[in-house]
Amino acid sequence: MRLPSPLHSGRLIRRYQRFLADIKLDDGTIVTAHCPNSGSMKGCSMPGSRVLLSRSDKPGRRCPFTWELVEVGGGWVGINTGLPNNLVREGIERGIVAELQGYASIRGEVRYGGENSRIDLLLEGNTERCYVEVKNVTLVEGGRALFPDAVTTRGQKHLRELMAVVRSGDRGVIFFVVQHHDGESVAPADAIDPEYGRLLRLATGGGVEALAYRALVTPDEVRLLRRLQVIF
């Protein structure tokens, strides 16, 4: 998946109000960028970190710049939570995600469940439907990618809905995309959101499948690289 070009380089001054970040560009200009990530971004929002921004000049945008990547530990980390859905879809269509092959169609943002939710990806075949909820993972500690990086009642709801999907006879998948070069496995962040960890174990014990792939993140592109083990 190609990233917007060109990307603009700078240094993070601060991230605040969840969706805003002040950046000092390499030419000395200070801009306020949109931060497309509602999590805590633990480990990815240190002041002084090198960052890369995309720019859109569409009329009406409050912030022309969007924060895309941050340099952590000598490698790039993708913080834009809007990318993983398309990244997983591309991985399925190109045959990279072997576990989700054999479906005739893929649709995104389809309404489902009893809480007026939208599933990230709905795969449909002749007799089976597969509901895929995609999560972006950027927190890595000791080589292990952890999700979530903040308490997520929305993520808890998604797990309950995937359990209902499986009970109804369809396939339910929670798909973790690790956009961090140091992630070698994935686990629930029990110290941050123990309820999410409890529900994830309950869901997988009841038939919801947990998949995780690490992405290769560069200033030019992001692409799924290989499957990671999910540790419970």
pLDDT of residue 117: 86
How sure is the predictor about 203, in pLDDT bands with cuts at 50, 70 and 90? very high
Cα radius of gyration (the chain): 18
- d(C-alpha 167, C-alpha 171), whole Å: 9
CATH 2.40.50.580, the chain: domain bounds? 8-74
How sure is the predictor about 83, in pLDDT bands with cuts at 50, 70 and 90? very high
Half-sphere exposure of 59 (CA within 13 A, CB side): 0
pLDDT of residue 165: 96
Cβ neighbours of residue 9 under 8 Å, at least 6 residues apart? Answer: 25, 26, 50, 51, 52, 53
pLDDT of residue 100: 97
Considering the segment(s) 84-230 as one domain, its CATH architecture is 3-Layer(aba) Sandwich (3.40)
CATH 3.40.1350.60, the chain: domain bounds? 84-230
CB 128 within 8 A of CB 170: yes
pLDDT at 158 over 90: yes
DSSP 3-state of 138: coil
Query: Which position has the higher pLDDT, 173 or 60?
Result: 173
pLDDT in tens, 105-157: 999 999 987 667 899 999 999 889 999 999 999 999 999 999 999 999 999 99
pLDDT at 196 over 80: yes
Percent with pLDDT over 90 in the chain: 93
- d(C-alpha 21, C-alpha 26), whole Å: 16
pLDDT at 215 over 80: yes
Region 8-74: CATH code: 2.40.50.580
> Stretch 88-102: mean pLDDT, rounded?
97
- d(C-alpha 87, C-alpha 215), whole Å: 9
How sure is the predictor about 200, in pLDDT bands with cuts at 50, 70 and 90? very high
pLDDT of residue 127: 84
pLDDT of residue 99: 97
How sure is the predictor about 47, in pLDDT bands with cuts at 50, 70 and 90? very high
pLDDT of residue 53: 98
pLDDT of residue 60: 82
Pairing relationship of beta strands 129-137 and 171-178 according to DSSP bridges:
parallel
DSSP 3-state of 224: strand
CA distances from 174 to 88, 116, 132, 144 (A): 12, 18, 6, 18
Burial of 201 (0-12, 13-18, 19+ CB in 10 A): middle
HEC string of 159-196?
HHHHHHHHHCCCEEEEEEEECCCCCCEEEECCCCCHHH
